[in-house]
Amino acid sequence: MQDIEIFSSTYRNSTNRYGKKDEFSNIGKKIKDGELKIAVYGLGHVGSPIAAVWLRAGAHVIVTDKSSLVLENAKKGRTHVPEPGVNEAFKKGLDENRFEVYEDPVKASRDSFFKMICVPVLTDQTIPINRYRSSDSHTRNSADLTAVTEVTKAISKGLKKGDVVALNPSVPPGTTEEIVLPIIEQTAGCMDNNIVLKNGNKKKVSKKKFQVEKDFYLLYSPERIFEGRAIEDIEQRYPAILSGVGPRSLDIGSQLYSLVFRKGVIKMSSIQSAEAEKLFEGIYRDVNIALANELAKFCEKKGINFWETRAAANSQPYCHIHKPGVGVGGACIPIYPRFIIDIAEKIKMNCDITRLGRITNESMPAYCVKQAVQLLDEKNRKQNTKRTCVMETNHPAKGAIITLLGIAFRGGVSDTRLSPTYMVVDEFKKLKVSEIRIHDPLVKDDPNLSGLGLKYGGPKVKNTEKNTKVVITLTQRLDQAITGADLIMLITDHPQYENLKPRDLHGVPFYDGRGLLDISRFVNYNSFSSIGVGKGIGNI
């Protein structure tokens, strides 16, 4: 056709944007020069430190998130995630014009070269694992990939030839190749047959779909950070676990990750192995914690001090008995076993040990509450009050004031996701206590508390929900939480609690759900009674 000429789009040719000869060369320099930008999707506990690490490496970083609050904070160089070094990196990035906050995820993709997906992948945790069976568990334990698919679609719409996409959350094996890849290949493409008519108008002829390994690259790399030291973990502590859908993806991914992971890159031979690797880390922890819980219960019943026994056993180099406790929380360990159990059922096999581990750990909050209530019973007997034995209709916990130490899912962090404290609150609600006071040195407010059917709004806020008269309070003042309480239950192993002194506890019966307190310091304290996980009533 004489009256048309081919319109030259930026990434028109089948060669990628670096040219054929040196397609992956000088990536480090191009990233530092800002020629190739990094985009981070999801600015939470994982995305924030990842963005910070790339900023610290001198890169130009674009961030985007669906939460307007998160974006507003980022524009001011702040994050809601209390992760050392992140705010500093954001502020420096803003000062040097290397940090951009986008509301439009498609534009973030259009303007970037390397896109990292850091959004959450969760499961429905509302039903205990022991109530799932067969077909039911298929839907209940399945991963919720809504955020991943949303972000992948946005990235695909802005994807250009030569771009690289990495999925970072922990996901069921198969997610990258069976969910993410098809979305990109169905959506992404370029108008390389765009034409310009003689009158200057452009006409779209067809969209050429992108093919992975030829037009773009796809990686899976699980994030392995420990909250509270995420930057250090990425930069210094761990090698990156890396997989690509093909050798070219793996090659370019390896060059990229080597820029920030000083310990280098462990290249996996398949994406599914890398996806499974992260889940195995969590399941190993979950099952071992379950074993510790079982042995702790055994010790309680037999009158053996679990903690002393554990320390002695672990002096043997092949023995690594974990710590028992009132529950396993956080957005990782409680979730990963469910992913594996779900897939195992689909491929018609049993993962009984994984399942039993989860059942054991999910039973711990209720178990520990039952144990702790024995202290109330004992207190009531001593005081000869009307509240009598656990077995009688008038439960000793009825009307009691309970203090829970910690709502963070583990010590040293303010993250409350899937904290066992919520399950403990539920248990005490069933026992019709009158008041539950939660103390946490790191958590100022927690909207999840209202999800328990209780109104939260600071200390001493009456619950106005029907059918319950429980008052729930959250405070950072220990004396306020403890004065006048009937029972204290330690749930989170915050370092601050290790140094609790007898006078801090006002003689209130104390249940140690983490084996944290050195109770020998309390022996001479008048009538103080304490038990805890691994230290049953027989060990007092």
Ligand X SMILES: NC(=O)c1ccc[n+]([C@@H]2O[C@H](COP(=O)([O-])OP(=O)(O)OC[C@H]3O[C@@H](n4cnc5c(N)ncnc54)[C@H](O)[C@@H]3O)[C@@H](O)[C@H]2O)c1
The CB-of-257 to ligand X minimum distance in angstroms stands at 16
Of the residues 16, 37, 40, 45, which one makes contact with ligand X according to CB under 6 A? 45
The total number of residues shown for the chain amounts to 540
Continuous segment of H or E residues that includes residue 265: strand 265-267
User: Are 277 and 173 a contacting pair, CB within 8 Å?
Assistant: no
User: Torsion angle of alpha carbons 48, 54, 55, 60, nearest 10°?
Assistant: -110
Residue with smaller CB distance to ligand X, 144 or 352: 144
Of the residues 93, 169, 327, 515, which one makes contact with ligand X according to CB under 6 A? 169
Residue with smaller CB distance to ligand X, 42 or 406: 42
User: Are 409 and 442 a contacting pair, CB within 8 Å?
Assistant: no
Of the residues 100, 215, 223, 300, which one makes contact with ligand X according to CB under 6 A? 223
The CB-of-65 to ligand X minimum distance in angstroms stands at 4
Residue with smaller CB distance to ligand X, 361 or 363: 361
CB atoms within 10 A of CB 365: 27
Give all strands (DSSP E) within 86-205, no chain letters.
99-102, 114-117, 164-167, 189-190, 195-197, 202-203
Nearest to 311 by CA among 49, 534, 485, 37: 534
**Alpha-carbon gap, residue 409 to 515, rounded angstroms:** 16
- Which three-class secondary structure state does DSSP give residue 187? helix
β-strands 114-117, 202-203 pairing? unpaired
| Phi, psi for residue 87 in degrees, rounded to 5 | -60, -40
Of the residues 332, 341, 423, 442, which one makes contact with ligand X according to CB under 6 A? 332
Nearest to 230 by CA among 31, 391, 432, 412: 412
Of the residues 40, 51, 59, 65, which one makes contact with ligand X according to CB under 6 A? 65
Which one of 5-13, 27-35, 41-49, 211-219 is the stretch in contact with ligand X (CB under 6 A)?
A: 41-49
β-strands 240-244, 217-220 pairing? antiparallel
Asked if 232 is part of the footprint of ligand X (rule: CB under 6 A), the reply reads no
Of the residues 177, 227, 342, 446, which one makes contact with ligand X according to CB under 6 A? 227
Residue with smaller CB distance to ligand X, 58 or 228: 228
Of the residues 16, 112, 123, 170, which one makes contact with ligand X according to CB under 6 A? 170
Residue with smaller CB distance to ligand X, 145 or 401: 145
Asked if 418 is part of the footprint of ligand X (rule: CB under 6 A), the reply reads no
Residue with smaller CB distance to ligand X, 223 or 345: 223
The CB-of-17 to ligand X minimum distance in angstroms stands at 26
User: Are 472 and 449 a contacting pair, CB within 8 Å?
Assistant: yes
Residue with smaller CB distance to ligand X, 161 or 417: 417
**Alpha-carbon gap, residue 273 to 245, rounded angstroms:** 12
Residue with smaller CB distance to ligand X, 47 or 189: 47
User: Are 454 and 472 a contacting pair, CB within 8 Å?
Assistant: yes
The CB-of-465 to ligand X minimum distance in angstroms stands at 27
The CB-of-140 to ligand X minimum distance in angstroms stands at 17
Which one of 26-34, 136-144, 221-229, 267-275 is the stretch in contact with ligand X (CB under 6 A)?
A: 221-229
Asked if 369 is part of the footprint of ligand X (rule: CB under 6 A), the reply reads no
The CB-of-148 to ligand X minimum distance in angstroms stands at 8
User: Are 137 and 114 a contacting pair, CB within 8 Å?
Assistant: no
Output Rg (C-alpha) for the chain, integer angstroms.
27
Residue that the structure tokens 């996980």 belong to: 533
Asked if 286 is part of the footprint of ligand X (rule: CB under 6 A), the reply reads no
Question: Which residue type, as a one-letter code, is found at position 226?
Answer: F
Asked if 121 is part of the footprint of ligand X (rule: CB under 6 A), the reply reads yes
User: Are 74 and 90 a contacting pair, CB within 8 Å?
Assistant: yes
Residue with smaller CB distance to ligand X, 329 or 534: 329
Which one of 42-50, 301-309, 371-379, 395-403 is the stretch in contact with ligand X (CB under 6 A)?
A: 42-50
The CB-of-189 to ligand X minimum distance in angstroms stands at 22
Of the residues 44, 158, 173, 396, which one makes contact with ligand X according to CB under 6 A? 44
Scanning residues 244 to 273, which ones bind ligand X (CB under 6 A)? Answer: none
Asked if 46 is part of the footprint of ligand X (rule: CB under 6 A), the reply reads yes
At 334, list the tokens.
């409680």
Number of residues that bind ligand X (CB under 6 A): 25
Which one of 146-154, 295-303, 311-319, 389-397 is the stretch in contact with ligand X (CB under 6 A)?
A: 146-154
Which one of 38-46, 211-219, 248-256, 390-398 is the stretch in contact with ligand X (CB under 6 A)?
A: 38-46
At 130, list the tokens.
């022991």
Asked if 274 is part of the footprint of ligand X (rule: CB under 6 A), the reply reads no
The CB-of-81 to ligand X minimum distance in angstroms stands at 7
Asked if 337 is part of the footprint of ligand X (rule: CB under 6 A), the reply reads no
User: Are 300 and 371 a contacting pair, CB within 8 Å?
Assistant: yes
User: Rounded to whole angstroms, what are the CA distances from 83 to 47, 226, 400, 442?
Assistant: 11, 10, 37, 13
Asked if 280 is part of the footprint of ligand X (rule: CB under 6 A), the reply reads no
- Which three-class secondary structure state does DSSP give residue 259? coil
Question: Which residue type, as a one-letter code, is found at position 505?
Answer: L
The CB-of-169 to ligand X minimum distance in angstroms stands at 4
**Alpha-carbon gap, residue 454 to 466, rounded angstroms:** 10
Judged by the rule CB under 6 A, the positions of this chain that interact with ligand X are: 41-47, 65-67, 70, 118-121, 147, 150-151, 169-170, 223, 225, 227, 331-332
